[in-house]
Structure 1
Amino acid sequence: MANVLVVDDSNTMREIVAGYLSQNGFQVAVATDGRDGLLQLRSDPGIKLIVSDVNMPNMDGLTMAEKIRKELGNKDVRIIMLTTEDNPAMRSRGKDVGVTGWIVKPFRGDAVLAPFKKFCGLS
């Protein structure tokens, strides 16, 4: 059972983020896009944190977040967007659909380790 789900269509980013989190005590699952992310979340009730890209094929990260909040009714999982997008309108949409936080790539693990552990009850 995972406590973090990393959702990104880039193999490299999934490996970097998932690897770093695994090395720092997290149980990590991965998904290749928002559709896959929803399936993973439905099958693993232990997920407390989702770290997702925004721009992905099949289903983008913001649509996935909206479906998590509205269709699944999951208000508890924390959703962090890890993206190259720094557009204020996109950030606003993220806030409107229930995104917890927004991190502009590149991923700096040491900067997010403490809050991620807190989200997952590891601190």
Structure 2
Amino acid sequence: MNSILNGLYQFILYIGVFILFFYVSEKTARKKWNIERRPEAEEVNSLHKWGKRILWIIFFVNVVFFPSGIKNVLIIMVIFLFNAFMQWKSGEKEYIITILGLVIFGIFITFGYTLHIFSK
């Protein structure tokens, strides 16, 4: 029981550190490149809205029927990239924050598997 709690505390600390890291990185990027805050759920056009919906449906179907960590991570990264591409194509600077989130998410997953935080 003690080892389970220790692993849980380690996982919570790990997530907290990355949330803090993303928060500071986002604030710095917004200030440096003068990017205004925009609601995340706001889509650029109908292709963006339906593309995100279809990709999220693919992700959830994959989680339920084919639970595999790496495939699910790749699908989430494709969703991030699609979102960033549509934001870039519309001329918004919000794509910088989306790509920053993708990079930090990739680092989060990589360190999590390297340090065996997710495999306990």
Give TM-score scaled by structure 2 length. 0.26
Higher CA-based Rg: 2
From the two aligned structures, give the one with the greater helix fraction: 2
Give TM-score scaled by structure 1 length. 0.25
From the two aligned structures, give the one with the greater strand fraction: 1
With CA pairs under 8 Å and 6+ residues apart, which has the higher RCO, 1 or 2?
2
